[in-house]
Amino acid sequence: MIITKKCLSSLLGATLCGIYAVSAQNPVVQTSYTPDPAPMVYNDRVYMYTGDDIPGYDFYYMTKWRVYSSGDMVNWTDHGVPISLESFSWARDRAWAAQCVERNGQFYWYICAQTVDNDMAIGVAVADSPTGPFKDALGKPLITTGSWSNIDPTAYVDSDGQAYLYWGNGHLYYVKLNEDMVSYEGDIVEVPQTVESFGGLRKPGRSEDVLQKAEQYKDVFVEGPWFYKRNKKYYLLYAGMTKGTESLSYATSDHPIGPWKYQGKIMTDQPTNSFTNHGGVIDYKGKSYLFYHTGLLPEGGSYGRSSAIEEFTYNHDGTIPVITISKVGVQPVGTINPFERNEAETIAWSEKCTTAEKEIGNVYVTGIRTGGFIKVRAVDFGTDEPKHFSAAIAAGLDGGILDVRLDSVAGSKIASIEVPRTGGWNSWKTLKSAITGNVSGVHDVYFVFQGKNITAGRELFNFDYWRFEK
């Protein structure tokens, strides 16, 4: 299902790749490692907040957080890096799992990080937009107790206006947030853990031997809580433990602070190529989705993890079925309008390219190489046949070609732009091509990158946005 370098080496290979690329969807971002996905629905759009694993390390060393959004669940727009460790004067390392929630038109992004005092703490950044710019709301941690259990915050605003913040590793805690969302009422409460509530009891300590001993139970709470409410029932999704590796499990309650009742594992014994997993659940456009991460991108693994999504249907009693991972992922629940400006970094699948920022929030596609491509799914041309295609491109050297094809990397070529040197890698020009043939209806559109009389492997050009014209 995933396109390989060998696959692109011949016309036959390209044809086969096109078939595979139509169905490959997981991981949903291929231009960066994106662990710990935290989805949020706002104004009929899904926003996905993730971490950023640094390639080549043998631990969870992370320095920033990323944001993506989608209106159709398959094409994800990269909004860049609105916050990093440098956004918090008190943080020094380990930009781990985070979640953003909205209240009264403000967006509160709860993060955790290692402090200058060498413990883990939870902070909060605030913005007027789901994509930022964000700033540290307090100039200090919101939760700091000297404990390394202060990780993986999850927040939810209940229907009565009361907001809650849960978090934990080994131990599980919560507070009732005040209406300002950056302070809390009362004491920090530790949630009692029993076999009835979380499937088992985790012994003190963090060694592999300790984790293996937990197998005497059906499950244990490890980390990564995800707290939400659906049909008057409260759900607490979390990373549990199966045979020395993390599963996704959950408990439910009739009240926001418990008591909790263990319901079971929903993702376990799956070939994720990652020791950890981190779940998030939303309902969107009448469907239910589980967000999680795997180590299945090239050169990925437990320290190079990427977000993935599966659709599921709740059982009649509100329980969650067992969910298996897939390369196919989810199907579109919307379409792309080709006659308006579309960002090049809105991607369903890509190869041999990445993204960068001109400044915070201004993202473009870069690192483009011969044989690479971008796939955009479910582009709806309707009956308005386009006459021209235009793209904003910058190139420091001459020699690139941008082909526009339908439905596969070897599909019908409807436009082609020979890219000249524009004056620099950030000197942008709008380049046009006439459309060949009649185009109508819904298609997957492929932007295929080719070189022209250049050294193999060299970067071709940068790509900012595109549009079809009637």
CA atoms 337, 379, 346, 459: torsion sign: negative
Q: State residue 325's pLDDT score.
A: 98
If 0-12 CB within 10 Å is exposed, 13-18 middle and 19+ buried, where does residue 16 land?
middle
Structural contact between residues 40 and 53, judged by C-beta atoms closer than 8 angstroms: no
Structural contact between residues 292 and 237, judged by C-beta atoms closer than 8 angstroms: no
Helix, strand, or coil here: 165? strand
Q: State residue 2's pLDDT score.
A: 34
Compute the distance between CA of residue 250 and CA of residue 459 in angstroms, rounded to an integer. Answer: 46
Q: State residue 139's pLDDT score.
A: 98
- Helical H runs in 303-451? none
Token pair for residue 273?
A: 């190529």
Q: State residue 209's pLDDT score.
A: 52
Non-local (6+) Cβ contacts of 180 within 8 A are none
Q: State residue 398's pLDDT score.
A: 87
Q: State residue 201's pLDDT score.
A: 87
Q: State residue 359's pLDDT score.
A: 86
Residue 361: closest CA among 345, 338, 341, 347: 345
Q: What DSSP string runs through 358-385? A: EETTEEEEE---TT-EEEEEEEE-TT--
Helix (H) or strand (E) holding 209: helix 208-213
Buried b (16+ CB within 10 A) or exposed e, 83-96: bbbebbebbebbbb
Q: State residue 452's pLDDT score.
A: 83
What DSSP designation does 445 have?
E
Q: State residue 367's pLDDT score.
A: 97
Buried b (16+ CB within 10 A) or exposed e, 182-213: bebeeeeeebebeeebbbbebeeeeeeeebee
> Along the 470 residues of the chain, how does pLDDT read in single tens digits?
333 333 333 333 333 343 344 568 999 999 999 999 999 999 999 999 999 999 889 999 999 999 999 999 999 999 999 999 999 999 999 999 999 999 999 999 999 999 999 999 999 999 999 999 999 999 999 999 999 999 999 999 999 999 999 999 999 999 999 999 999 999 999 999 999 999 998 765 554 554 555 556 889 999 999 999 999 999 999 999 988 899 999 999 999 999 999 999 999 999 999 999 999 999 999 999 999 999 999 999 999 999 999 999 999 999 999 999 999 999 999 999 999 999 999 999 999 999 999 988 899 999 999 999 999 999 999 998 999 999 999 999 987 999 999 999 999 999 999 999 999 999 999 999 999 999 999 999 999 999 987 666 799 999 999 999 99
Q: Where are the strands (E) in 195-301, listed by range?
A: 223-230, 233-242, 245-253, 261-267, 280-284, 287-294
Q: State residue 302's pLDDT score.
A: 97
Cis peptide before 27 (omega within 30 of 0): yes
* Domains by residue range for the chain, with CATH: 26-312 (2.115.10.20), 342-469 (2.60.120.260)
Q: State residue 282's pLDDT score.
A: 98
